[in-house]
Chain A
Amino acid sequence: MALTGLALLGFVLVHMLGNLHLYEGPWETHEYAETLRDLGTEVIPRTWVLWALRAGLIAAFALHIHSAYSLTRMSRSADRRYAGGRDYIAADYASRTMRWTGPIVGLFVVYHLADLTWGHFNPDYVRGDPYHNVVASLSSLPVAIWYLVANVALATHIYHGAWSMFQSLGINSPRWNPLRRRLAQGFAAVILIGNLSFPILVQVGVIDDGGRSVVRERLEADHAVGDALAPPGGAP
C-alpha cells in the first residue's frame, strides 16, 4: 500500500507540476508533452521511456487497488459492528473515508484518461493539443465541478495516505515525527491548490483559446510552409 502509494504520490506531484505549463500557453504545453515523449531519445527509441513510466504507473495503480482490496477484505472479515455505535477519537475524516475517496479518484482517473488522452468524452479533441483539450473539457460547468470534487477527494486521500505511508514504512523517529503530519498536510495542499487552479481558471476564462486549437493551426501552418518550400513535383 505504502510503496505503491509513494509511486503514485510522485506521479501526482509531477503531473500537477507539468500541468503548470498550461499557464505558459498552448504551444509551450504542447512542447512539454513532446518532451515527455522525447525522454531518453539519446539512448533508446522515442516514447519508450514514456511507455516504461506508464507501465510502472499502471502497475502501481493495479497493486495499490489490489492492496486496498485485500486490506478491506481482511478488515471486513475481522470486524464486527457495534450495535450501539462507536465513537471516533483519533480517526479523522480523511482516514475514515479512504475507502470512498480511493474509488472516487479511481473513477476520475478513468474519466480523465477518456477525456484528455483518448478523447472519447472530449467535445473537441485535438490530438497533440492538451491545452485546447483541457479548455474544451473544463469550460463545461458540470465537468469542472466533477474535476473539483475528484481533486478534493484526491487531496483528502493523499493527506491520510502520505502520513500513513510514514507509519507503514516505519519512518518514525521522535526527532522528525511532528514533521510527518505537516508534510502530509503540505503535500496535500500543494496538490489541491495546483490541480484545482486549472478548472477554476478555465471557468473564469484565464485559460482560454477561444475554441481554436493553436497547436493544430500552427502545425498546419508549418506544414503549409513546408509544402510551399518543397519543390513541386519533386522530380528532377
Chain B
Amino acid sequence: MSPTEPSGAAHGAQGEPPDGPATLNLRLRVWRQDGPEAPGRFETYEAAGISPDASFLEMLDVLNERLTLDGQEPIVFESDCREGICGTCGLMIDGRAHGPQKGTATCQLHMRQFSDGDLITVEPWRAGAFEVIRDLAVDRTALDEIIAAGGYISVNVGAAPDANLVAVPKEAAECAFDAAACIGCGACVAACPNSAAQLFTAAKVQHLNLLPQGQPERWARTEAMVETMEQFFGSCTNHGECEEACPKEISIDFIAWTNRDYVRAKLKNRKLAGQS
C-alpha cells in the first residue's frame, strides 16, 4: 500500500489525523485459490502504512484496493456485519482461527495486535466439509444441514401460549443463552485437529435442550443433530481447541452435556417422557 494511496475522506471525521501510534508495515502471506478444484498457493504481499486502529479486514480492504488498481484480482474473503455477530468472516491467521486475540472474531481483530514488520500468514478455514470456494472463502452449508436436522422447536406461527406461561429459572435461561451465543462461524471446526463440529452442534443442541420449551423434542433433536453432524465432520477427542478459538467463548461443557443427552436419547423410552 503506497502511502499516497487516495482514500475517500471518512465522513464524520473532522480535523487532522490523530497523533496516534505510527503506522505498521507488514508482509502478508495469503492463500490464493481460483476455485474449488484449482490448486492453491501462498502469495506474499506488502501492506505498508496500515493504521493500528484499522481492523484486520480493513487492512485487507486496503490491500485489495491496491491490487485492483495494479490490475490484479483482489483477494476474496467474506465478511458482512463487521461487528462480530453475523459469523460470516473467518480466517486462519498465523495458524489460529480468527487470529491471536481470544474471544474475538476476525472482523473485530484490530491491527494494534500486530507489530511493525510482522509476516502474517492468512489461510482459509480447512475441513473436509468446508470446501474452499475461492481464496479465503469456504462453504459452510454443512452447519445449516445440522440445524435443519433438528435445531428448532416445532411451534407453528400462532400456536404459541403466552410468553410468561412457563417460568424459566434464571440460571437455566442464562446457561441456554451462553450456548445460544454461537454465531455459526465455524471457527470450532477450523481450529479442531479432527475437524469436528462438536462445539457448534452442542451449542445449538443445548440452547434448546436447556429450556423448558425444548423438552418435547429433546431426545429426537439430540440424536438427529449429532448424527447429521457425523455425516460431515470428524469426531471429538476433547482437545479443547474449539473453546479457545470460539469468538463467543462457548464452553466445551456443552459438548459433555450433549454427549450425555445423546446416550440418554439412545436409551430413553420416549413414551414415558412425561414422567421424567
Contact of B31 with A by CB under 8 A: yes
In this complex, what residue of A is CB-closest to B189? A78
Chain B positions within 8 Å of A160 at CB level: 238
Contact of A110 with B by CB under 8 A: no
Taken together as a complex, chains A and B put the C-alpha atoms of A98 and B92 apart, in Å, by 25
In this complex, what residue of A is CB-closest to B123? A84
Interface positions, chain B 181-216, Cβ under 8 Å from A, are 191, 193-196
- Size category of the A interface is 20 to 34
Tell me if B92 and A75 are in contact (CB < 8 A).
Answer: no
Tell me if B238 and A163 are in contact (CB < 8 A).
Answer: yes
Tell me if A87 and B127 are in contact (CB < 8 A).
Answer: no
Tell me if B195 and A86 are in contact (CB < 8 A).
Answer: no
In this complex, what residue of B is CB-closest to A91? B239
Taken together as a complex, chains A and B put the C-alpha atoms of A80 and B92 apart, in Å, by 13
Contact of A229 with B by CB under 8 A: no
Chain A positions within 8 Å of B152 at CB level: none
Known: A83-B40, A85-B95. A90 touches B235 (CB 8 A): no
Contact of B56 with A by CB under 8 A: no
Taken together as a complex, chains A and B put the C-alpha atoms of A82 and B257 apart, in Å, by 30
Interface positions, chain B 142-193, Cβ under 8 Å from A, are 191, 193
Chain A positions within 8 Å of B135 at CB level: none
Taken together as a complex, chains A and B put the C-alpha atoms of A60 and B88 apart, in Å, by 44
Tell me if A170 and B261 are in contact (CB < 8 A).
Answer: yes
Tell me if A98 and B237 are in contact (CB < 8 A).
Answer: yes
Tell me if A90 and B243 are in contact (CB < 8 A).
Answer: yes
Tell me if A82 and B194 are in contact (CB < 8 A).
Answer: no
Contact of A47 with B by CB under 8 A: no
Tell me if A95 and B195 are in contact (CB < 8 A).
Answer: no
Interface positions, chain A 135-156, Cβ under 8 Å from B, are none
The 0/1 profile, CB within 8 Å of A marked 1, for residues 31-44 of chain B is 10000000010100
Distance in Å: Cβ of B32 to nearest Cβ of chain A: 11
- Contacts A82-B123, A167-B252 known; list 20 others, CB within 8 Å: A74-B235, A75-B234, A75-B237, A78-B195, A78-B234, A79-B126, A79-B128, A79-B195, A80-B195, A83-B31, A84-B92, A87-B94, A88-B193, A91-B240, A95-B239, A96-B239, A163-B238, A169-B259, A169-B260, A170-B256
9 A/B residue pairs, CB under 8 Å, sorted by A: A71-B235, A74-B235, A76-B234, A82-B92, A84-B42, A84-B92, A95-B238, A170-B259, A172-B256
